Amino acid sequence: MGRPAGTALVAVWIAVVATGCPAPRSTGLARQALEETVVDTDYGTAFEAARTVLLNDGSALDHADYASGTLVCSRRVRIKDPRLAAALGVLPGGGSFYTRAYGLGVLDAFLWLLFPPLGIAIDAPTAAARASHLTETEQVNVVLRTVRDGVAVRYSRRPERSPAEDAREEQRFLAALRSQLTLAGAGPAAHRGGLEVRVPPGPENVAAPSPILGPGSRYAVVIGISRYEASKLTLKHARHDAEAVYAFLTSPAGGVSPENARLLVDREATLRNVKSALGEFLARSAKPQDTVIIYFAGHGAPEPDLSGLADDGVEKYLVPVDADPVSLFTTALPVAELERIFRRIEAGRVIMLLDSCFSGSASPGGRTFSRDLAGRRVAVTSEFLRRVARGSGRILITASAANEVALESDRVGHGLFTQYLLAGLEGAAARADGSITVLSLYQYLDAQLPGAARANGASQHPALIGRVDEDIVLVEAAGTR
């Protein structure tokens, strides 16, 4: 073959490869969200089996929320096959083009034109080496919910691959889940295969808890800290958030008498005062028929758990105004202590709203920090909050998933979570009858907050944690107040 013809052939080959490069994959989940798998077992067994399968697969468990049935994992996966890269290396620049090294591909193609063995000797091994290191973070989402016939399981992942590859991954997960259920002895379904793909059941198949208005009084403790004694912890809008929430709760719509409420902002929110308000004022005042609402806006922080008791190896703290960031154990409130404080409160219904987070991320505008975890990947789970919310009538709504950051918004002058919390309480989360309940509020937050966070280039998903045996009315319909 003459050199002009060879050059033309290489040019055509480069054009074919370049125009044949696949378009960027969609990160949407629409295709994978069309079907669910119904497992004929109980909810607790299904949740633990799914969690075990994901962990056995080498994934980092970013979020595991038993109450909402959500499991979110991440893992590093190869996006190119080294063997295919080496095989394509026998073509002009083929391995380099396959591994997206387009400049090298052009160079390798012309080397191949001058002396094919040299082009192959360079392109094939280097492309294979590149392919072995080309990875991306894949997020796996598993959502469980109770239905009439058992537990519905929805599996999805980002980014999407081809339909065939997505289907293979889903079937692989379901096969592993079936095996895990068999090992767990999960009833008759484990022995007969018990997995059936069907269109998601309608809402009529799931019994929602009945809304209830607590017969007693309402109490509230509202805490917000913007100006910390350690100036590097300063936040912009936490105090404003707390004052706005307090104003709503003590209004006629909020239903809390001012004498039954405590507001602690900035220098008032010391560790002593916070513990006194939660563990003494509420414990002495609220009776079994009463409802308690606790709101906290400020920093949360993690540090390594030296006791070995935390399931994820991380101790978490709510950070009061007088906390020393280098001595959290001594000067901050361990979230584990909230469990003991909750047990001191006799009220039949306790709702805690947290516009804070515990990921320790250094993301700007977030309500978290970490000194000892800096530079380390930490898979913080929400298991610690589930322990706090143990027992009937104990509910937490958090601003973000365990490994996410709770953001502040300068545009609206609030934390992003509190912005939508207030909008929901003021009517946006109302049910058809005009009342606003814990579940209707959470559903509104879950619908609005993730999109608002994405618009700010971030990821933030609220979580509802606790056993919702009865859907607590937070705001009565206008005609019944």
Torsion of CA 84, 85, 91, 97, to 10 degrees: 130
Confidence (pLDDT) at 337 = 87
Q: CB neighbours (10 Å) of residue 59?
A: 19
Judged against a pLDDT cut of 50, whether residue 377 lies above it is answered with: no
Provide the 10 A C-beta neighbour count for residue 40. Answer: 19
At residue 105, the 3 state secondary structure works out as helix
List the CATH code of the domain at 32-77+136-205. Answer: 3.30.530.50
Average pLDDT over residues 445-449: 90
Topology of domain 211-480 in CATH is: Rossmann fold (3.40.50)
**251-262: pLDDT as tens digits:** 999 999 999 999
Residue 467's pLDDT band (cuts 50, 70, 90): low
At residue 371, does pLDDT exceed 70?
no
Reported as a single tens digit per residue, the pLDDT across 54-96 is: 877 767 777 777 767 788 888 776 667 777 767 776 677 666 6
> Is this structure's pTM higher than 0.85?
no
Give the highest mean pLDDT range of 127-136, 192-201, 361-370. 127-136
Q: At residue 380, does pLDDT exceed 50?
A: no
Q: Note the pLDDT tens digit of each residue in 18-63.
A: 444 444 443 333 333 346 788 777 777 788 788 888 877 767 777 7
Cβ count within 10 A of residue 360: 24
Helix (H) or strand (E) holding 95: helix 94-98
pLDDT in tens, 306-330: 665 555 567 788 999 999 988 998 9
Q: 328 near 304, Cβ under 8 Å?
A: no
Q: How far apart are CA 22 and CA 39, in angstroms?
A: 36
Residues 211, 473 contacting (CB under 8 angstroms): yes
In the chain, residues under CATH classification 3.40.50.1460 are 211-480
- Where along the chain do the CATH 3.30.530.50 domains lie? 32-77+136-205
Show the tokens assigned to 238.
Answer: 């936490």
Taken in order 196, 200, 203, 209, the sign of the CA dihedral is: positive
Residue 296, classed as helix, strand or coil, is strand
CB under 8 A, 24+ apart: contacts of 204-211: 205/147, 205/148, 206/145, 206/146, 206/147, 206/148, 208/439, 208/471, 209/439, 209/468, 209/469, 209/470, 209/471, 210/470, 210/471, 211/431, 211/435, 211/437, 211/470, 211/471, 211/472, 211/473
